[in-house]
Structure 1
Amino acid sequence: MVGFCDLAVAAAMYLLFLLLQGRPPVHQFWWAPKKTLYVAEITVILVLLRALMDLLSTRSIIHQIQKLCTDLLLRLTQGYNEMHWGRFVESNRSELSNHALYSAREAAEFYHRCIEFTAAVIIVAAMTAALVYQSPIAACGFAFALSAFYGFHQLFIRNRLQLAAENREISLRMLQKNLADIFSSGKEIRTYGNQAFFHNRIRGQAEQVAASSFRIKFLPQIASSIADQGAVLLFLCIIVAVQLRHGDARQLLSLLAFYFVLSRRMIPLISQISVIVGHIESSYENVRIVDTELNECHKYRACVSPVRQPDSGFVAQIKDVSFSFRKGTPILRNVNLLLREGETVVLHGPSGIGKSSLLNLIAGVSQPATGMIQVDRTSIAYVPQEIVLLDDSIRSNLLFGLPDKSKDELMRALSTAQLAGFVAAQPLGLETSVGDNGALFSGGQRQRLGLARAILRGAKLLLLDEATSALDAENERQILDNLSASGNAVLLVTHRVHTRAFGHRVFKLQGGCLIEEFPQLISDNEQPIIADIEC
């Protein structure tokens, strides 16, 4: 609309200059105004309308691009969260973040540039039609110049831009990984004093990104410069050709006004088209990445098993459940387990035997290959060994998406987790920041904060995966006593022998099967007494 308004302004200016010189237009139309004042008023209105439409279109473009970027970001994050757990854990977290932030934004820009390109081409085509109507010779010259420019772009610009875009995406992904490595390995790097090694890795990737980005930004500018100056020379040639044809100075003045208004719009448009084409080709790689990621999310989307509530008196019933990450030897085989209300069950076994996998199945993180799990998933709290904390306050980490709770409720949860005294001693109390992933807290404090977060949710079943491994024996004993007194059912995975005494029942996971033991007869050197092999 802005472009067609420019065309109307050009026509009005042409008519105005003719009337100012006392010459009627070559083509008379019944609807065309005959008085100079009317034409001047119409021209002013068109100029104001053009400015208003320019502002409205800019506002619409900004709003639309932000909406599209947000939509792609949400689709990617939702897809990653719904992805099969086995596939998700194989993915690099920094790459997922990069796709959700950078690639989504660039993909949104791609669609915006496509719309801009289409609009620019339509406007140039309309103005070219006006040139044909006014001067076929000028239009032929313009078409020839445009064809030459397009051929130059295809031969010397396009392939180099695509290669630079691909190299930049690869370099950015590697840089993202290296940055994540150097930030997460801060202690070891400082201890070993090998900062130079990691900095050299970062420098190499950053230089590759800079080189690719330079080509992506510089190559379109070459095309833009050629288009700018070529268009100016073209219009000078058109004016000379028109003058030689008409030979009338007064007619030339009107034509100059017409061509001036058109060139004021067409020259930037031609330049803009060349730049947009370059940006489209460089950002298309991000569209391909987003499309690939969304297809991967759909392909590996977790199949949610139907939820079955446990029978009365139980919080979880596991019947003939088998599980494996990939085709082959299953991690769990025909597992059967009944968890009663208020019961504490201890589960132990060698590392990598499948204890965390069993907890993931109960929590709904993973899905069983065979068998049935009856559990109320709305009343489960899960505390892993490695607690992930938000870079926020203690309050926000306790709530973790819950509606706001009173201070008394928060402090009771902290008290059960033996952390109330520590929080009360902080100057900011519940508003104390925990740092990046709890960097300002010790390992034991992070675990107790994770336990308080789970307790606050009021779950009937607590799944604790080595959730007390960083605690001293006294704090661990008090917390487990508090949990037992609360009446919640607890499934505790642990390697500590003394912790098994807190369980009403103790199970050992071996060879994918559950073996029940008598907790009062277990010691470090004694063989377990097998009560039941549910396998």
Structure 2
Amino acid sequence: MTGMSAYLRTFHSFDPPGIWRAVLLNFAAAFAEGAGLLMLLPILSLAGVLGQDSGQKSWLPMLDRLFVSLGISWSIEFALLVFVVLIYIQSQLTLHRDRVSQSLQLRFGDHLRKTLYAAIVRANWSFLTGKYSAELLNTLTTEVQRITTGTYFLLRFFTISILSIAYFSVALWLSTWLTLLALAIGLVLWMLLRGADDAAKQGGMMLSQANRKMFAQIQEFLSAMKLVKIHGEELSSLYRFNREVDQVSNHSMEFQWIRTRVQAVYRVGGAIALAVVSYIALVWFKLPATHFLLLVAIFARMLPQLAEFQSGRQQLLHMLPAFSSWRRLMEACEANQNPEGAACGNVKLMQGITFERLGFSYPESHHRIIIRNLAIPARKTTAIIGVSGSGKTTLLDLLSGLLTPDTGTILIDGAPLHLLPGWQKSIAYIPQETQIQNGTIRDNLNWKNLEPTDAEIKQAILQSALTEFVQGLPKGLETEVGERGVKLSGGEKQRLALARALLRKPQLLILDEATNALDPENHRLVIDSIRALHGNLTVLIVTHKTDELSGLIDGMVQVEQGAVGKWIPFAHKKSTTADKKNWSPLALKCF
């Protein structure tokens, strides 16, 4: 399927009734405009401006007989009244047509954006980690906006086509051969300017690439903003951003130059065509004056519309690369969707989590993880120990359902994890880099929660050691925290994240090195908060060291070079050689 046909099919499938309504309104408005043009003939004749060569007896005999049968005779007053009524009808139809077209255009853009966003949200984690966020943002914003703009020109393209048919119909009735001659000249102009179509499409592709690079530069700066400031690299970042913006501007200007050049050629060519047709009409065909003036008026109105017709066609070709980007990303997301499961509530974790002969490796990577047999008891606090890059995060991603194992099974209270679609609703996850959204403390506590009660919020704040902090704020829960929580300290962010996690009422709480970057006092507050939860829910704490967790954890799991050992009670931290084989690299040979 070509890009244009795919775009048209997508647009048509979006709202067929609305599109057909726009089609009918276009035909009705064009018919009314054509009838209004024809009414100029009897008006001019009845006014005696140009004689009676197109008077009422020779103009539309059937309509003339109809009015006579109704007892109505042609007069200048009646003809003007009919003309005004036709123009009023045409203006109302045009107004309604434009509103329907604008609604179609905007709703189609919203539809593309919402559909793509839904596909991205439902895509699996492995796929999303392989995509650049700048590409996703660019497609959702700039590319969809370009498609929306292109859709406007598609609707204008159709409107102009219908109007042109109406004009040509009237012109053919006035003089068939002159109209065909004008049409032939127009086709010659179109053939001569077809080369600009390829340039428009190529320009659209270059603009899409430039937009992606610009978004990538923005994303790079925002993610490393603090580092840029510390190293004093503002000018370097500004230079790279300005370079990408200039590329976007240059590609946009190149297309505008192509489009305006084509319009200029159409205007000049149209003027020449009008002069040729006028000469032939007067000298060779001896066309009646009223017919000639009306024919000139029709062609004069058609010339700018034909130029707009060609301009709209180029806008569509220029837009197609943006639609192709949307379509490719949409198809990729749909091909990597998470499996749909039956809706259900939170999954209870009463017995424990079991990994049975599990293996996983990343595509095109040497990193892999092996778990021979691991059982994590419920309602216990477990430390996941290992150096950076050993596989701790991969273990958590497998447990949370973000990744699917290549072999083996994960069981939750004996039930396979992939058969528990509500499992992720039962998890609360706190990373080292806490995600705090712009807004108030209450907004952050309400994030993805079903409107917790004041009592639940108060309890979560108490459990996360935030009570004194919140009470000391002038606005309490309504205090603004700033973008990414810039008005909060690291410890305050982590405790706010813990309170937010507890409001989910999880069965499993995961802290992925959530306390590593905290100062001793904030570290103590967070650890004390977690200690207060001991025995009430299953807690996994990912850390490099266990000495500071004494009295908090019940057991530990060692991860080394992708090999995951058994759950060992913390009291038996100094394991035997046999225990160490459960997690050493030698275990890979036993899998």
Task: Compute the RMSD of aligned alpha carbons.
Answer: 2.9
Cα distance between partner residues in 2 of 1:53 and 1:388: 52
Counterpart AA for 1:509: V
1:271 shift after superposition: 1.9
1:252 to 289, 295, 301: 289
Does residue 1:301 correspond to 2:337, yes or no? yes
Instruction: Give 2:238's aligned residue.
Output: 199
Cα distance between partner residues in 2 of 1:68 and 1:485: 52
Counterpart AA for 1:440: K
Instruction: Give 1:287's aligned residue.
Output: 323
Instruction: Give 1:89's aligned residue.
Output: 129
Q: Note the 1:132-531 alignment, pairs <5 A.
A: 132-155=172-195, 157-245=196-284, 247=286, 251-253=288-290, 255-257=292-294, 259-260=296-297, 262-263=298-299, 265-303=301-339, 313-314=350-351, 316-326=353-363, 331-375=368-412, 376-486=423-533, 487-501=536-550, 502-510=552-560, 511-520=562-571, 522=573, 530=579
Counterpart AA for 1:489: T
Contact in 2 for aligned 1:65/1:108 (Cα 8 Å): yes
Instruction: Give 2:164's aligned residue.
Output: 124
Q: Cα deviations across residues 315-363 of structure 1 (Å, max 9, x unaligned)?
A: 5443333222226766222354444442111111121222112222222
1:285 shift after superposition: 0.8
Cα distance between partner residues in 1 of 2:87 and 2:578: 93
Aligned positions, number: 529
Q: Cα deviations across residues 252-293 of structure 1 (Å, max 9, x unaligned)?
A: 145424542x34642332121121012111111101111111
Cα distance between partner residues in 1 of 2:364 and 2:210: 34
Contact in 2 for aligned 1:172/1:209 (Cα 8 Å): yes
Counterpart AA for 2:492: Q
TM-score normalised over the length of structure 2: 0.82
Counterpart AA for 1:14: L
- Name stretches of at least 5 consecutive residues in structure 2 with no aligned partner: 1-25, 68-72, 413-422
Indicate the SS of the match to 2:62.
coil
Instruction: Give 2:33's aligned residue.
Output: 6
TM-score normalised over the length of structure 1: 0.90
Instruction: Give 1:16's aligned residue.
Output: 43
1:232 shift after superposition: 4.2
Contact in 1 for aligned 2:374/2:566 (Cα 8 Å): no
Cα distance between partner residues in 2 of 1:491 and 1:304: 27
Indicate the SS of the match to 2:579.
coil
Indicate the SS of the match to 1:372.
strand
1:400 shift after superposition: 1.3
Contact in 1 for aligned 2:359/2:369 (Cα 8 Å): yes
1:532 shift after superposition: 8.6
Contact in 2 for aligned 1:68/1:108 (Cα 8 Å): yes
Instruction: Give 1:79's aligned residue.
Output: 119
1:515 shift after superposition: 3.3
Cα distance between partner residues in 2 of 1:337 and 1:306: 28
Q: Cα deviations across residues 113-155 of structure 1 (Å, max 9, x unaligned)?
A: 3343233224323422332221123213311321232123213
Cα distance between partner residues in 2 of 1:133 and 1:285: 42
Distance 1:377-1:194 versus aligned 2 partners, 3 A rule: closer
Contact in 2 for aligned 1:15/1:25 (Cα 8 Å): no
Contact in 2 for aligned 1:15/1:39 (Cα 8 Å): yes
1:527 shift after superposition: 8.3
1:214 shift after superposition: 0.5
Indicate the SS of the match to 2:566.
strand
- Which stretch of the first structure deviates more once superposed, 203-212 or 388-397? 388-397
- Which stretch of the first structure deviates more once superposed, 109-118 or 381-390? 109-118
Contact in 1 for aligned 2:263/2:307 (Cα 8 Å): yes
Cα distance between partner residues in 2 of 1:198 and 1:175: 12
Distance 1:419-1:82 versus aligned 2 partners, 3 A rule: same
1:213 shift after superposition: 0.7
- Which stretch of the first structure deviates more once superposed, 475-484 or 173-182? 475-484
1:246 shift after superposition: 6.1
Cα distance between partner residues in 1 of 2:30 and 2:300: 11
- Which stretch of the first structure deviates more once superposed, 483-492 or 450-459? 483-492
Cα distance between partner residues in 2 of 1:168 and 1:117: 23
Counterpart AA for 1:324: S
Cα distance between partner residues in 2 of 1:121 and 1:310: 59
Counterpart AA for 1:333: I
- Name stretches of at least 5 consecutive residues in structure 1 with no aligned partner: none
Instruction: Give 1:104's aligned residue.
Output: 144
Counterpart AA for 2:438: D
Counterpart AA for 2:164: V
Instruction: Give 2:5's aligned residue.
Output: none
Distance 1:80-1:406 versus aligned 2 partners, 3 A rule: same
Cα distance between partner residues in 2 of 1:168 and 1:329: 37
Distance 1:204-1:305 versus aligned 2 partners, 3 A rule: same
- Which stretch of the first structure deviates more once superposed, 322-331 or 485-494? 322-331
1:457 shift after superposition: 1.0
Indicate the SS of the match to 1:238.
helix
Indicate the SS of the match to 2:370.
strand
Counterpart AA for 1:58: D
Does residue 1:30 correspond to 2:62, yes or no? yes
Contact in 2 for aligned 1:423/1:430 (Cα 8 Å): yes
Distance 1:482-1:194 versus aligned 2 partners, 3 A rule: closer
Cα distance between partner residues in 2 of 1:295 and 1:512: 36
Counterpart AA for 1:405: P
Counterpart AA for 2:541: L
- Which stretch of the first structure deviates more once superposed, 181-190 or 450-459? 181-190
- Which stretch of the first structure deviates more once superposed, 188-197 or 28-37? 28-37
- Which stretch of the first structure deviates more once superposed, 17-26 or 288-297? 17-26
Distance 1:371-1:444 versus aligned 2 partners, 3 A rule: same
Cα distance between partner residues in 2 of 1:228 and 1:139: 18
Contact in 1 for aligned 2:375/2:567 (Cα 8 Å): no
Indicate the SS of the match to 1:493.
strand
Q: Cα deviations across residues 193-240 of structure 1 (Å, max 9, x unaligned)?
A: 222222221222222111111011221112223323443443344344
Cα distance between partner residues in 1 of 2:411 and 2:340: 13
- Which stretch of the first structure deviates more once superposed, 227-236 or 411-420? 227-236
Contact in 2 for aligned 1:320/1:335 (Cα 8 Å): yes
